[in-house]
Amino acid sequence: MVSAPVPDDGLILGVRHKSVPARFWGRAAAEVAAERHPLSEFSTPLLTLDRSASDHNVAALMAWADERGLKLAPHGKTTMAPTLWRRLFDAGAWGLTVATPWQAQVARAADVERLLIANEVVDPAGIAWLAEQTDAGVEIACWVDSVEGVRLLAESAGTRPVDVLVELGAPGGRTGARGTEAALAVARAVLATPRLRLRGVAGYEGSYGADRAPTTLARVRGYLVELRELAETLLSWDAVRDPIVTAGGSAFFELVAEELAPLAASRGRDVTVVLRSGAFQAHDEVFYDGISPFAQPGSAQVEFRAALAIWSRVVSRPEPTLALLDAGKRDLPVDLGLPVVHGHPDAVVTGVNDQHSYLSTPADSTLAVGDVVRLGISHPCTAFDKWRLIPEVESADVADPVVVGFVETYF
């Protein structure tokens, strides 16, 4: 879909790029990357992306989805990195998902031409921009879950109808019309409004569980069954053209495939079934590594690889069983678990301050002040947003990884 230049192609390194050595400031990032400097030349703390692991993950999910007749519109909010978005398209992504009009604007600045805004757009500035993009021929759609939301979108000015998908929710979830009848009422309101075009249905099953307990899987599947049944009802309406059915986070995408993929060939119509997973491009070593379908015992699927790592230095050993690292909440995610330690099997991160991590170690640990520790992160979505620039390494699984690129983020 897109391989146009992205905003960071001409990036100049500088003081705003955390942990990049001062001697590289004022130089083009591409030039420094071409020199293949070892990671040991960079300051700590430092977040890196393992390019080979990330490329592996993208290829794995693309192939898995293609085998099941699913299209991928990965959620760009995870990385907010046009460089990484471009790789998704180069690998065959159908589109890109974002969460807000501003994120969509970043994507449009990177020449992304097919977008899903997985949210209700109700602010006037966002609605006006959405209408402008529609009139310009951009394929872009947002969610609606209420008659009030339909009315706000319908009040926009423009010549082409704005594409919308009715979002189905359930009690205890996030956004989305609560139940099939409420969703159908929203759909009828859309069809009664010439200013809008109904493209199908959308949902997010991740609101209904965060583990692999049988009760959680049953709850998630039950929601997806209701979403499929809503889609089947709308697909029976001739007024729904070029239909899209979409769901999917990074935790239960196999259930999405089982319940929704059959719609792609239903009723003799061309139905685009879209999976919106986003975290897979980087993966992690705690939350998604424990809940991903590919990580379950007995899974025959290709495993995802953790592509993100934090490199942190021991700054203090004030007690025999305690080491303080120079990475903290400003550098690494803690919302879905603490980081894990590589290379020191008996060392455990027990707490994190703004600029420090507490590392519990055996009394006979050889860790010394100045040593560098590799940490595995717990949540990609809240790792990327702490870094304006992320060095890419060829592989993190060597003694001194080589920096082969830089990824700029937009948060």
C-alpha torsion sign, points 146, 151, 152, 156: positive
User: Which helix or strand (DSSP H or E) is residue 60 part of?
Assistant: helix 51-67
Q: Which CATH number fits domain 52-295: 3.20.20.10, 3.40.50.261, 3.40.50.720, 3.40.190.10?
A: 3.20.20.10
Q: Residue 136: helix, strand or coil by DSSP?
A: coil
CATH topology (fold) of 22-51+306-408: Lyase, Ornithine Decarboxylase; Chain A, domain 1 (2.40.37)
Give pLDDT < 70 ranges for the chain: 1-9, 266-268, 299-300
What's the pLDDT score for residue 267? Answer: 59
How is residue 338 annotated by DSSP? -
How far apart CA 262 and CA 241 sit, in angstroms, is 18
Query: Using one digit for the tens of pLDDT, what is the confidence trace for 270-300?
Result: 899 999 999 999 999 999 999 988 877 776 6
What are the residue boundaries of the structural domains of the chain, listed by start? 22-51+306-408, 52-295
What's the pLDDT score for residue 4? Answer: 40
Report helix, strand and coil shares of the chain as percent, to nearest 5.
35, 25, 45
What's the pLDDT score for residue 5? Answer: 40
What's the pLDDT score for residue 3? Answer: 39
How far apart CA 340 and CA 357 sit, in angstroms, is 11
Query: Using one digit for the tens of pLDDT, what is the confidence trace for 353-366?
Result: 999 999 999 999 99
Three-state SS sequence of 294-333: HHCCCCCCCCCCCCEEEEEEEEEEEECCEEEECCCCCCCC
What's the pLDDT score for residue 300? Answer: 64
What's the pLDDT score for residue 1? Answer: 40
How is residue 28 annotated by DSSP? B
How far apart CA 342 and CA 336 sit, in angstroms, is 19
What's the pLDDT score for residue 2? Answer: 40
Burial class (CB in 10 A: 0-12, 13-18, 19+), 300: exposed
Residues 358/298, Cβ–Cβ less than 8 Å: no
